[in-house]
Amino acid sequence: MAHETDPVGDLTEAQAREELARLADLLDAANIAYHRDDAPKISDAEYDRLKRRNAEIEARFPALKRADSPSDTVGAAPAEGFAKVRHEIRMLSLSNVFEEEELVSFDQSVRRYLGLGADDPLAYTAEPKIDGLSLSLRYEKGALVQAATRGDGAVGENVTANARMIDDVPQRLNGAPEVIEVRGEVYMSHADFADLNARQTARGGKSFANPRNAAAGSLRQLDPEITRARPLRFFAYSWGALSEPLAETQSGAIKRLEALGFQTNPLTALCNGPDEMLAHYRRIEEQRATLGYDIDGVVYKVDDLEYQRRLGFRSTTPRWATAHKFPAELAWTRLEAIDIQVGRTGALSPVARLSPVTVGGVVVSNATLHNEDYIAGRDATGAPIRGGKDIRVGDWVQVYRAGDVIPKVADVDLDKRLEGAEPFDFPKTCPECGSDAIREAGDAVRRCSGGLVCPAQAVEKLKHFVSRAAFDIEGLGAKQVEQFYSDGWIKEPADIFTLAQRYGAGMQQLKNREGWGEKSAQKLFDAIDERRVIALERVIFSLGIRHVGEGVARLLARAYGSWDAFVAAVDAARDQGGEAWDGLIGIDGIGTVVATSLVSSFAQEAERASIDRLVRHLDIQEAERPRTEGSPVAGKTIVFTGTLERMTRAEAKAWAERLGAKVSGSVSARTDLLVAGPGAGSKESKARDLGVEILDEDGWFDLIEGA
């Protein structure tokens, strides 16, 4: 074997090949440590030496130059990323309450849903909301087999190797159900965070803004050894798939998790009603500063798991839990400038450029100013906010942030207003393309009317198109999209799918560009090809239509199943109105705002042509329809009337919809089934006249039993 100090001239061909392989590995590892992980493992001088030796050997043996030669790479390859994991049970987020009254109405709505009176007993657990990132740990036959991040809730990242490095994560469980997914929060303590940042700074690496970022950055490491060196902790507070129930109550289940060897939060309490919940909230708030880790509120959960099951979920949050957030953190600073950003839908958003200031441990230099009314000191109805004080460049302003949200400018100190400060003149034309910026009646936002002609809108639409919940094309992020757009290589989504054809021939053009090599270019083209086959909900979301977020896109995809059916329905709603329109807004979760936005987007010629060009490149997968299989009521229109005794109206509706039925409030010729409790009146007689099938509540339960 050759020694690395051997003169290159003395190497045999076999030795040279072997050493090139070794150098490629070493340099690759060094690149990853330095560029991706901010944790260099060798000195710069050592790095340069290895690179020089590699180049010398390549010069002497050109035929041996590797396809992945370190001479041709700049920085680290884009993170390969983690394998994806589809959660058997979705990982959800939580709704929020901020005020006492909101907590009271949370309790009321839970009671209403369950049909409980104000005096019926109803217990909740209350526990700190840990400011970290959630992790799902799957154990089979007692062994940890998989750990996954939340990701988008449906699909997360496989971080099993990293999770094994966390002391609080048991590798084995004794006496656990055969299959159990334990969910909880990964976090970093204040002390460990300070140590880590000190170490990072000492070695010239990047420091983290807060413990949450540090925890996320440490868990999402491709090299588990780095995770090992970063002290992460884990609190268990929930679960996913289970082969058998853990307990009958939330508090019982938490005790069970504790007995299985998990850390659970010691500040978890059982509370009867809002007064006790609030008292516990105050207790936790008092201890917040001395806990030694970040929390950002208190989570309340209905204790009875049977109630939890009945309450179920909205599209992304459970009805049986909510997070009571702590009030936001504040600071005062100077407003240096107001910039206008143009978004994907043309919205002109004013951004405050601030003298940097620390708010709750994070340095803030930008904040949102919402819209022109907000700057002028009035709300959407014209009523004064902040006592009618407007905000001017140069003002002394109060900045606040709550959790992860974008910081906001909340208030202004008029005593500190500079002499000669002028009211802010909100632009009436788009700063990016010069088109008129129009504010429609009832809209708080002024919008650029340039459509796809506006470069800002076009770029933002493209960025949205490639974003994670949309096409999620590896190697094509916001930065690359900007680059390609400004060079005129990609002007609209369809262009992405012809990129290889236009610039990839022999890979010459793309490969010769800064930042692109043969390998990365090929990788990009492969990643693009991979996305030609794509889920319907992603396509709908990717279009960037106003009000059509991920949740709405999913509802539409489920309702229509295929792209053609979806487009036909939107077109029909526009051309025929009436029943076609009702069909669109009849989808649970879709209202007139969404429907109007959809219909008008599809009716805009340029936009429609761009969508049509895109879909020609795609093989759009049909969506999973609601549980129609084995459901006796799939596709049927059902009306509930009279007093229901075994379930509340809301519960009945949610249940029927889960089984693929449509629930309507009134009986018509289109009604398939009426479920009538005692006291049913005119609806029942109308149904009888129309010959609609009528069931009582027990009949309804018999019908859907087992479905």
- Contacts to ligand IVH by CB under 6 A: 92-94, 127, 129-130, 134, 150, 185, 237-238, 299, 318, 321, 323
Nearest approach in angstroms of CB 237 to ligand IVH is: 4
SS3 string of 554-570? HHHHHHHCCHHHHHHHH
Relative to beta strand 133-140, strand 155-157 is unpaired
**Looking at beta carbons only, is 208 or 300 nearer to ligand IVH?**
300
**Looking at beta carbons only, is 237 or 485 nearer to ligand IVH?**
237
SS3 string of 628-685? CCCCCCCCCEEEEECCCCCCCHHHHHHHHHHCCCEEECCCCCCCCEEEECCCCCHHHH
Nearest approach in angstroms of CB 429 to ligand IVH is: 40
**Looking at beta carbons only, is 194 or 405 nearer to ligand IVH?**
405
**Looking at beta carbons only, is 269 or 430 nearer to ligand IVH?**
269
Nearest approach in angstroms of CB 496 to ligand IVH is: 32
**Looking at beta carbons only, is 239 or 426 nearer to ligand IVH?**
239
**Got the DSSP string for 79-142?**
P--PPEEE-SS------EE-SHHHHHHHHHHHHHHHT--TTS--EEEEEEEESSEEEEEEEETT
Relative to beta strand 295-302, strand 321-325 is antiparallel
Catalytic amino acids? 129
When CB distances to ligand IVH are compared, the closest residue is 134
C-alpha angle 554-703-555 in degrees, rounded to nearest 5? 5
User: How many residues does this entry show for the chain?
Assistant: 707
Q: What one-letter code names the amino acid at 47?
A: Y
> Taking the mean position of all CA atoms in its chain, how far away is CA 273?
32
Nearest approach in angstroms of CB 97 to ligand IVH is: 12
d(CA 665, CA 662): 10
Nearest approach in angstroms of CB 133 to ligand IVH is: 6
**Got the DSSP string for 351-411?**
EEEEEEEEETTEEEEEEE--SHHHHHTB-TTS-BSGGG----TT-EEEEEE-TTSPPEEEE
Nearest approach in angstroms of CB 653 to ligand IVH is: 21
**Looking at beta carbons only, is 323 or 598 nearer to ligand IVH?**
323
Residue 435 in tokens: 């088109």
d(CA 690, CA 673): 11
**Looking at beta carbons only, is 221 or 238 nearer to ligand IVH?**
238
The position carrying tokens 């976090």 is 187
Nearest approach in angstroms of CB 298 to ligand IVH is: 8
